[in-house]
Amino acid sequence: MPTILAIESSCDDTSAAICRDGKILSNVVSAQVIHEKYGGVVPELASRAHEQLIVPVVASALEKAAVNKTELDAIAFTLGPGLLGSLLVGVSFGKAMALGLGLPIITVHHMKAHVLAHLIDDPKPSFPFLCLTVSGGHTQIVLVEAPLKMKVLGHTIDDAAGEAFDKTAKMFGLPYPGGPQLDKLAREGNPKAFAFAKPKVPGLNYSFSGLKTSVLYFIQKQQKENPNFIKENLNDLCASVQETIVAVLMKNLELAAKQTGIKQLAIAGGVSANSELRKQFQKRGEQLGWETYIPQFQYCTDNAGMIAITAYHQYLAKDFAHQGVSPKARFAM
């Protein structure tokens, strides 16, 4: 019955969680509001904020779980992918604490953890299942054959869907983080008001750079004729962009399900919190006979709970790391 402390610090959320025998006892997340005025994450500021937050966040996770540090059996942390400076804080803290307590360490792949967030709460998908993992930095279709056996069937060849949401939102003058703001405004708009490019790439891969360019050129052209175009059409613009991104995501996921014959499908990552993606995913599931799974909202965005459940399965497999391990911006899936 292992008790594991998990740390997540890959970007701009400082998080710690406690997992005991596969159950998440606490999941504390501290978001960094300092980036709002810059319209995006500033890596140097993010790493400094992690340094300030990691001790109180870990202490809070232990307190909420009613677990003493002497009860821990292992310490896990995100090794990558992510911002190197941010990762370094979590990795260094985790290694130091493990060394002081004489505990083994477990290094976790951030994107694998997003997938395994589905193993935290019931109902859980059975194996094998397909997972569309969508975040600010990644877009992947993953075949999940077992907790620690995954294969990427398709991925973005340039920009991620989350980045496309945030960058187009920024074009519309929305505050950071733009994705959730765009989602909110899109609910009041017409998704068929404007048509934007849907780049086609081989196989099950994705591309969103062309979409961003399409939106940029469109609004630049419209603003030459009407400087108030964005303001007057904001809801429709948001709805049209959102409809385009979700349609692209769902098309390849549907194709992957058809090619593999798998009916157990899931979505994960920060963008899985998008209301339209959730709606279309569940709608498509009803139409095609899929069993669909979406994690609780707290396990969609970056959090240590997903790191903890992944570390639990790695602990059972005796997948431990050595003290010399270093953070990695790129960490092979």
> What digits encode the pLDDT tens for the residues 179-191?
999 999 999 999 9
Q: Does pLDDT of 32 surpass 80? A: no
Integer Cα distance of 217 and 228 in angstroms: 16
pTM above 0.85, yes or no: yes
Residues with Cβ within 8 Å of residue 156, at least 6 apart in sequence: 138, 139, 140, 205, 206, 207, 208
Q: What band does 177 get if pLDDT is binned at 50, 70 and 90?
A: confident
Confidence (pLDDT) at 31: 82
**pLDDT confidence of residue 332:** 75
* pLDDT tens digits for range 100-118: 999 999 999 999 999 999 9
CA dist 115 and 141 (Å) reads 10
Sheet containing strand 129-134, edge to edge, reads 149-155, 139-146, 129-134, 264-268, 291-293
Mean pLDDT of 27-51: 85
Check: CB of residue 314 under 8 Å from CB of residue 148: yes
Position 319 scores a pLDDT of 97
pLDDT at 34: 74
Give me the half-sphere count of Cα atoms (radius 13 Å) on the Cβ side of residue 210. Answer: 13
Written as six digits, the tokens of 256 are 């992957």
What values do phi and psi take at 121, rounded to 5? -120, 155
Give the tokens for residue 111.
């994107």
pLDDT beyond 90 at 255:
yes
Per-residue buried b or exposed e for 280-293, using 16+ beta carbons within 10 Å of the residue's own CB: bbeebbeeeebebb
pLDDT (0 to 100) of residue 43? 84
Residue-averaged pLDDT of the chain: 95
CA–CA dist 130, 115 (Å, integer): 9
pLDDT at 35: 73
Distance CA 238, CA 44 (A): 31
Q: What H or E segment, with its residue span, contains residue 80? A: strand 74-80
| CATH code given to domain 125-294 | 3.30.420.40
How much is the pLDDT for 137?
84
- State residue 157's pLDDT score: 95
Domain range annotation of the chain: 3-115+299-316, 125-294
User: Rounded to an integer, what distance in angstroms lies between the CA atom of residue 326 and that of residue 302?
Assistant: 20
Q: What is the pLDDT of residue 180?
A: 93
**Are residues 308 and 119 in contact, defined by beta-carbon separation less than 8 angstroms?**
no
Among the listed ranges 1-15, 37-51, 77-91, which one has the minimum average pLDDT value? Answer: 37-51
3-115+299-316, what's its fold?
Answer: Nucleotidyltransferase; domain 5 (3.30.420)
Rg (CA), the chain: 20
Using one digit for the tens of pLDDT, what is the confidence trace for 203-253? 999 999 999 999 999 999 999 999 999 999 999 999 999 999 999 999 999
Phi, then psi, of 21 in degrees rounded to 5: 50, 40
Whether the Cβ atoms of residue 248 and residue 195 lie closer than 8 Å to each other: no
- Tokens at 279, concatenated: 């709606």
Fold matches, 3-115+299-316 and 125-294: yes
What band does 37 get if pLDDT is binned at 50, 70 and 90?
confident
d(CA 43, CA 83): 7
pLDDT at res. 99:
97
Beta bridge partners of 155: 140
Q: At what angle do helices 229-260 and 209-225 cross, to 10 degrees?
A: 160
Burial 170-203 (b: 16+ CB within 10 A, else e): bbbebebbbbbbbbebbeebebeebebbebeeee
